[in-house]
Amino acid sequence: MLTRGHLENLLDERVLVLDGAMGTELYEQGFGFDRSFDALNLDDPGAVTRVHRDYVSAGAAVLASNTFGANRLRLQKSRRDGDVVEINKRGVQLARAAAATRPPHNRPLVAASVGPLGQPLAPVGRLQPDVARDLYTEQLAALFEADPDLLVLETFGDLAELALALDVAQALQPGCAVLACATFTDDGKTLFGHRPEEVVRAMLRGGAAAVGANCSTGPQGLDVVVERMQRVPGARLALSPNAGMPRLVDGRYVYVASPDYFADWAAKAADSGIRAVGGCCGTRPAHIARMAETLGVRAPRIAVPAAGIEAREVAEPPPAAAAGSAAASEFDRKLAAGEFVTSVELDPPRGIDCEKLVQGAVALRRAGVDAINIADSPLATARLSPLALAVLIRQQVDIEILLHVSCRDRNLLGLLSECMGAHALGIRHTLCVTGDPPSMGDYPGAKGVFEVDSIGLVATLARLNRAEDANGKALNYRTDFRISCAVNPTAEDLEREIERFHQKVAAGAQYALTQPLYDPEDLVRFVERARPAIPLLVGVLPLRNGRHAHFIHHEVPGMAIPEAIRARMTQAGEKGPEEGVAIAREFLRAVRPMVAGAYLMPPFNKFEMAVDVLRD
């Protein structure tokens, strides 16, 4: 394997032409995106070899192995996680064999390709850095065993993950030649908010020979990225943009940027000081051939940053006051003052008629309720958007809304979008929940996202409150979310539940709501062992009848109803609702000194039962 110094010397001698997209070419051969392209190294090596040979014929000076997603985590989706070592080693071998079809003096280098793991790292996601390190170690060790010429880390949106992968590579093969590439959004930053010059500096410190940008957008979209990367003196830069934006034509994706357009761009990039050019999504052998023909054996132009530009950081605007800042509500005031607060949950409808729920909110407000909880498709049943119901209620009722936000249905981008939208609409209180799995709902075949869990979501909203993005980078605005979390004092593994509760508090949760409880001793035991440092609102779910009680106890995960209460509900017969209210009142009287408020969950949106409980 080449050393860092060797690769730097090559980049100083001539502009290297990298290869183009692997996935695009495999797609053109008829392989759908529903299968693992990396596993084709074993399943159909001829298809992969054809792609490599086409790029060799086009004149590429570097071939990237078909191993971008060949880590255990990504391969689990296609049940090929047991083939990590074989897929990676075979990937390098196929590229090496294709390169060997050229004479030794003109033979392309073979780069082992490694991409992100496919899940965000903690604290944003659930993937712990030590687990990520193990995953990269497994993949990189297999790649290095196959003896590539260099390593290319590509399409990373998180600088922390890119740095971790580079660190693993240097630990396994000190001084190895690495090209490290990040992907950038249209605002010129990574998905996690890092500026291009930050990426360059971090990668050079970590031992990379060259740094660059790939994927992201078409050539023009990288202009700002290139300008900022070139502020770092001595950086050897590489670019592999997409072939423009794709469009769907007759059921297939087609990229619009032509080979001639790419050749013109490559010449301008080389003139500006770029040391290596290639292509990502949508680029094909024809693009690479035109670039190689245009550049020939052109020596690189050494770019010199404008005087003083490296020392001068572009100042970010100071964080503004909370956007759309809302005055503290009665619920906020009472919670802060230690006064007992009440919140009642309303589940969005399965259809689109919200009138009954809006009128229910009116009645609850008149009864003195401080806040309305709006669940996010509980039990994984398809329901109206909770944010839509929140807005409809707020249009007619002056009452605080506590919006549930589930991690089941959205990735991090979707969660951020939903929460920022809620903030803009005046919703401040959020209950961060991981969410029930789709398998228990009315669409069991649906796939849950769960890119982050409730702890990661709490941490993300807390960062927004500190004018930081999900990765801790400074923003020019701040939010003022009031962040709550859920806790289950009757969890089967109570120690684990308490540990996660403390993690939520450390992440930024400001108050907590418990699962429905029926035995005061359950709350006493939890409080004594967890010693909560934030206010608790105790969950109260009035029972309808004996059948309802047995269903909750035996069929709803994480909930327990004492046998004596189940017997009372069974014996109550037709007077079940009255007995359920009486039991809820008794429980609330017993626990009131221990909690900051009550969180009532009337069954089937029978909000009048919540009013009856609170009349005690």
Residue matched to tokens 């396994």: 172
Containing 365, the helix (H) or strand (E) segment is: helix 355-366
The whole-angstrom separation of Cα 445 and Cα 204 is 46
User: Of 368, 482, 461, which is closest to residue 412 (Cα–Cα)?
Assistant: 461
The pLDDT assigned to 316 comes to 46
Per the CB < 8 A criterion, the answer to whether 97 and 50 are in contact is no
Following CA atoms 226, 232, 235, 238 in sequence, which dihedral angle do they give, to the nearest 10 degrees? -10
The whole-angstrom separation of Cα 448 and Cα 409 is 6
The pLDDT assigned to 413 comes to 87
Per the CB < 8 A criterion, the answer to whether 177 and 2 are in contact is yes
Q: Which two tokens stand for residue 406?
A: 């589930």
User: Of 376, 391, 384, 404, which is closest to residue 483 (Cα–Cα)?
Assistant: 404
Residue 253, classed as helix, strand or coil, is: strand
User: Of 517, 541, 556, which is closest to residue 606 (Cα–Cα)?
Assistant: 541
What is the spatial order of strands in the sheet that 178-182 belongs to?
A: 16-17, 276-277, 237-241, 210-215, 178-182, 150-156, 109-114, 62-64
The pLDDT assigned to 250 comes to 57
User: Of 474, 423, 388, which is closest to residue 194 (Cα–Cα)?
Assistant: 474
Q: Which two tokens stand for residue 296?
A: 């020939």
Q: Work out the burial of residue 452: count CB atoms within 10 Å of its CB; fewer than 13 is exposed, 13-18 middle, 19 or more buried.
A: buried
Close Cβ partners of 444 (under 8 Å, ≥ 6 residues apart)? 438
Q: Angle CA(421)–CA(423)–CA(425) in degrees, nearest 5?
A: 75
The whole-angstrom separation of Cα 599 and Cα 184 is 43
The whole-angstrom separation of Cα 112 and Cα 140 is 9
Q: Angle CA(316)–CA(320)–CA(326) in degrees, nearest 5?
A: 160
- According to DSSP, residue 307 is labeled T
Per the CB < 8 A criterion, the answer to whether 458 and 504 are in contact is yes
Task: Find the helix packing angle between 355-366 and 607-614, rounded to 10°.
Answer: 10
- Residue 385: other Cβ atoms inside 10 A: 13
The pLDDT assigned to 191 comes to 79
User: Of 604, 600, 616, which is closest to residue 369 (Cα–Cα)?
Assistant: 600
Q: Which two tokens stand for residue 309?
A: 């530009």
- According to DSSP, residue 125 is labeled S
The whole-angstrom separation of Cα 49 and Cα 101 is 11
The whole-angstrom separation of Cα 80 and Cα 313 is 46
Close Cβ partners of 306 (under 8 Å, ≥ 6 residues apart)? none
**Helices of type H across 221-313:** 223-229, 259-271, 285-295
**Domains of the chain and CATH, by start:** 4-295 (3.20.20.330), 340-543+595-614 (3.20.20.220)
Per the CB < 8 A criterion, the answer to whether 230 and 237 are in contact is yes
Ranges of the chain with pLDDT below 50: 306-318, 320-325
The pLDDT assigned to 305 comes to 53
Close Cβ partners of 230 (under 8 Å, ≥ 6 residues apart)? 237, 272, 273, 303, 305
The pLDDT assigned to 544 comes to 93
The whole-angstrom separation of Cα 37 and Cα 226 is 30
- According to DSSP, residue 600 is labeled E
User: Of 107, 111, 110, 133, which is closest to residue 121 (Cα–Cα)?
Assistant: 133
Per the CB < 8 A criterion, the answer to whether 14 and 299 are in contact is yes
The pLDDT assigned to 247 comes to 64
**Helices of type H across 272-329:** 285-295
The pLDDT assigned to 525 comes to 95
> How many separate helices (H) and strands (E) can be counted in the chain?
23, 18
Q: Work out the burial of residue 319: count CB atoms within 10 Å of its CB; fewer than 13 is exposed, 13-18 middle, 19 or more buried.
A: middle
Tens of pLDDT, residue by residue over 455-508, are 999 999 999 999 998 877 788 899 999 999 999 999 989 999 999 999 999 999
Tens of pLDDT, residue by residue over 329-381, are 889 999 999 999 999 999 999 899 999 999 999 999 989 999 999 999 887 78
Residue 561, classed as helix, strand or coil, is: coil
Residue 465, classed as helix, strand or coil, is: helix
The pLDDT assigned to 323 comes to 43
Count CA atoms closer than 13 A to 73's CA, side-chain side.
20
How much is the CA Rg of the chain, to the nearest whole Å? 29
Residues in the chain: 616
Longest dimension (CA), the chain: 91
pTM above 0.75?
Answer: no
The whole-angstrom separation of Cα 565 and Cα 567 is 5
Per the CB < 8 A criterion, the answer to whether 413 and 311 are in contact is no
Close Cβ partners of 19 (under 8 Å, ≥ 6 residues apart)? 52, 55, 58, 60, 62, 63, 64, 108, 278, 279, 288
User: Of 514, 434, 476, which is closest to residue 125 (Cα–Cα)?
Assistant: 434
